[in-house]
Structure 1
Amino acid sequence: MATAREVTASGAAAASAGCWDGSVGGSAASPAPLPRPPQNELCPRQRRRLRLTPVLPAVPVSPCPCHPARVTMLIKEYRICMPLTTEEYRVGQLYTISKHSHQESEKGEGVEVVKNEPHEDPIHGPGQFTEKRVHLSSKLPSWARAVTPRIFYITEKAWNYYPYTITEYTCSFLPKFSIYIETKYEDNCGDSENIFHSDKILGDHEVSFLDIAFDEIPERYYRSLEDPRFFSSAKTGRGPLREGWRQHTKPIMCSYKLVSVKFEVWGLQTRVEQFVHKVIRDILLIGHRQAFAWVDEWCDMSLEEVRAFETQMQVATNQKLGSQHP
């Protein structure tokens, strides 16, 4: 339940650094050695240095089996448990995303909904497709705003075939940067192994369990009313959450997220991808804490009612942004 605006703002800022500090190079998959200039164009000192400097061979990197033409990327799996059922989570997720997007949007800034329509997939069946533009120029550092277009946004496309979803973030201004998220939801405490069928993944990937109650979040995002250690639901009687709550709480469900971050700029790929994953981790924690803390607002809603609320918030949010999209 990542908040797109905050994830992409931090990620885009980090990624844009690689495009504007003179570090842009070839693909990170197989960097070729730099060509050596003719000897007669060098001074004696340069020729001596050249003789002492070996030419390093290119390091081959195996492509992902699913996408043979793509380079490697940083893949991590996050598991976030909630004191809910998967059906309750479905309603809470839609409510929380709609409410948060509306709260965070300002005139000309925030999450603009471009499409929100039914979608049929031959494999996954009926679902919902959404396309959003995350406007975040003011969220970028001043040095980044100086070199980015005046109108700058990230495109989010999501395919919701609950309990399976796909979300993709891209940016036309940073074509070498993307985030791809697969999510599966199950009624358990996060103990399903190989849920994403690891034969699709190149090598091992890190699995990280996130605890909405006891994992730290950035201080600037902390709200005491949204702290699961102290929150108690008046309608459901759930909470506060104590140490070890994932082992003894009923009901419980888990959101399994396989997150792939790609930034194909040689010399910066690892640093940027690791930074974006850190931001994603924080936003996942914040979003899920809010979903639980707001449970009394949405727990009585049906799926049809929360879809109506989503449409209402979409119109109101687009009006705040001055959007012409319906």
Structure 2
Amino acid sequence: MLMKEYRICMPLTVEEYRIGQLYMISRHSSEQSHGGEGVEVICNEPQTHPQHGLGQFTEKRIHLSSKLPSWIKMFVPRIFYITEKAWNFYPYTITDDKGDDNLEAMLTVVIHLDILSDKIPEKHYEQKEDLSSWRSAKTGRGPLRAGWRNESLPVMCSYKRVECSFEVYGLQGKTEEFIHKVNIRDILLVGHRQAVAWTDEWHGMTLEDVRRFEKELQEQTNNKLKSKHAQKSDQCGKALSVFNK
């Protein structure tokens, strides 16, 4: 099992991030789901944690067969997906700083992602989502400049601790590193850029508003994926277990 912690600073308040992240995840998942690949939501429901109280549990399948390199395709079924389980006991997370806290000394792999300057795959680039030219009409924020996290108000940091497990002898280490580098990093970086770029679309929504939006898009996305998979063979998918805490 390979665990990494990603830290992503955002020019938002914690409460804004709560709404913006839910909006972004739903829309991003919908836009990236086509041709039988994308994000299928298996479960999304309230859950009570003995320590943190009422929160939201989600389980998703990220279908990505065509995105696998040839050395993985040789060993996995034609229908391949990652299983992601997430427990969101909002705001049970350390977010009110600039990403400098050391949560646990045992964590040796900490990756800071910069939504302004870190490169994303060319296929995901959109001029209107470029934060160096973005400006929010509703909040007056933007564009972002080099060193923005030390100057921006508001500012917060999202901590994403992700455990990836692929227990296949001879392929485990290489595959887990691939999933972190090509899948998890890109999803987090692109998604958080979009959450900021789409500020004027979600700003002002209530939690109830964004939950309705989330439910509507999840149903649309699941229907797209199920329709496409029905045309394929019923070969079982090989699941990776990814736990996003």
Higher RCO (CA < 8 A, seq sep 6+)? 2
1:135 equivalent among 63, 75, 82: 63
1:289 equivalent among 193, 209, 212: 193
Q: CA offsets, 1:140-187, max 9 Å, x none?
A: 4567557643443322222111123xxxxxxxxxxxxxxxxxxx3412
Give the superposed CA RMSD.
2.3
How far 1:308 sits from its partner (Å)? 0.7
Look up the SS of the partner of 1:237 in the other structure: coil
| 8 Å Cα contact 1:107-1:322 kept in structure 2 | no
How far 1:92 sits from its partner (Å)? 0.6
* Separation of aligned partners in 1, 2:198 and 2:217: 16
Counterpart of 1:104 in structure 2: which amino acid?
Q
Percentage identity across paired residues of the two chains: 63
* Separation of aligned partners in 1, 2:66 and 2:112: 32
How far 1:129 sits from its partner (Å)? 1.4
| 8 Å Cα contact 1:94-1:310 kept in structure 2 | yes
How far 1:101 sits from its partner (Å)? 1.1
Counterpart of 1:114 in structure 2: which amino acid?
I
| 8 Å Cα contact 1:85-1:251 kept in structure 2 | yes
Listed as ranges, the gaps of 5+ residues in structure 2 are: 228-245
Counterpart of 1:214 in structure 2: which amino acid?
S
Q: What is the total number of aligned residue pairs between the two structures?
A: 226
* Separation of aligned partners in 1, 2:130 and 2:154: 19
Instruction: Summarize the alignment of residues 126-275 of structure 1 with structure 2, pairs less than 5 Å apart.
Output: 126-141=54-69, 148-164=76-92, 184-194=93-103, 197-198=104-105, 201=106, 205-265=108-168, 268-275=171-178
Query: Which structure has the larger Rg over C-alpha atoms?
Result: 1
TM-score normalised per structure 2: 0.82
Counterpart of 1:187 in structure 2: which amino acid?
D
Q: CA offsets, 1:66-107, max 9 Å, x none?
A: xxxxxxx44332211000011100101110110111112225
How far 1:234 sits from its partner (Å)? 1.1
Look up the SS of the partner of 2:115 in the other structure: coil
Listed as ranges, the gaps of 5+ residues in structure 1 are: 1-72, 165-183
Look up the SS of the partner of 1:84 in the other structure: coil
Look up the SS of the partner of 2:111 in the other structure: strand
Counterpart of 1:102 in structure 2: which amino acid?
S
TM-score normalised per structure 1: 0.63
| 8 Å Cα contact 1:217-1:282 kept in structure 2 | yes
Instruction: Summarize the alignment of residues 83-102 of structure 1 with structure 2, pairs less than 5 Å apart.
Output: 83-102=11-30
Match of 2:222 in 1: 318
